[in-house]
Amino acid sequence: DIQMTQSPSSLSASVGDRVSFTCRASQDIRNDLDWYQQRPGKAPKRLIFGASSLQSGVPSRFSGSGSGTEFSLTISSLQPEDVATYYCLQHNNYPRTFGQGTKVEIK
């Protein structure tokens, strides 16, 4: 199975800050990596697909980058509504595997 490791597990930042977090795959997954946002008590919502493509309707302050084994998600200007846990998911192989999540809070 492909292991997905996210870091950090949590972070706290101020409104307007630029924040980034990473997802590392245990083997090359090309760009078969998506990012999801899960607000408290809600279902996940896809933000980024194919490592760097913005899902329709998602604010442009979200961006993704990377390929192979190293990926990152960046929020260019953190907003209060971005408080959530963010998960990466590899769809290069089965079983599909998620990272353990990065919880984002407002300082």
CB 44 to other proteins: min, Å: 5
Residue 24 lies near other proteins (rule: CB under 8 A)? no
Query: Is 68 or 101 the residue whose CB approaches other proteins more closely?
Result: 101
**Which C-beta is closer to other proteins: that of 5 or that of 77?**
5
CA distance linking residue 24 with residue 38, whole number of Å: 19
Question: Of these, 21, 25, 29, 49, which contacts other proteins (CB under 8 A)?
Answer: 49
Q: Could you tell me how many residues of this chain bind other proteins (CB under 8 A)? A: 24
Report yes or no: 33 and 97 within 8 Å, Cβ to Cβ. no
- CB within 8 Å of 27: residues ≥ 6 apart: 2, 69
Supply angle C-alpha 52, 70, 65, rounded to 5. Answer: 20
* Pairing between β-strand 102-106 and β-strand 10-13 as defined by DSSP bridges: parallel
84-90 and 97-98 strand pairing? antiparallel
The interface with other proteins within residues 67-106 (CB under 8 A) comprises: 87, 89, 91-92, 94-101
Query: Which residues bind to other proteins, rule: CB under 8 A?
Result: 1, 32, 34, 36, 38, 43-46, 49-50, 55, 87, 89, 91-92, 94-101
